Amino acid sequence: MQPYILNFAVKRKSHTQAALATTFDAESQVTVLIDQPHRPIVAEPSYAGVRTKKQDIEKGDDMKDTGPKPKPKPKPSPRTGLRGIKID
């Protein structure tokens, strides 16, 4: 048995930009994309990581019997996470 309110808990992907290749630049004190060190990253909504069923399937999360998946390469783009917020 679990607390009643946990009946309403749903899966939520943690909201990090871990899929991006970043590094911290001590000179500017900001986090930058590795291949575009001049360009800081813009944050996305903290809740943007909430995945829909459709997104899960697209990401292959529901296809557990298909063997190991290739490790995704970091995206060297000025976009962030699922929301794809772009700065220019």
Binding site for other proteins (CB under 8 A): 1-14, 16-18, 22, 24, 26, 28-31, 40-48, 50, 52, 80, 83, 85
The Cα–Cα gap between 4 and 58 comes to 31
Q: How far is the CB of 43 from other proteins (least distance, A)?
A: 4
- 16 or 67, CB closer to other proteins? 16
The Cα–Cα gap between 58 and 17 comes to 19
The Cα–Cα gap between 61 and 55 comes to 9
| Contact call for residues 74 and 19 (beta carbons, < 8 A) | yes
Q: How far is the CB of 70 from other proteins (least distance, A)?
A: 23
Q: How far is the CB of 2 from other proteins (least distance, A)?
A: 7
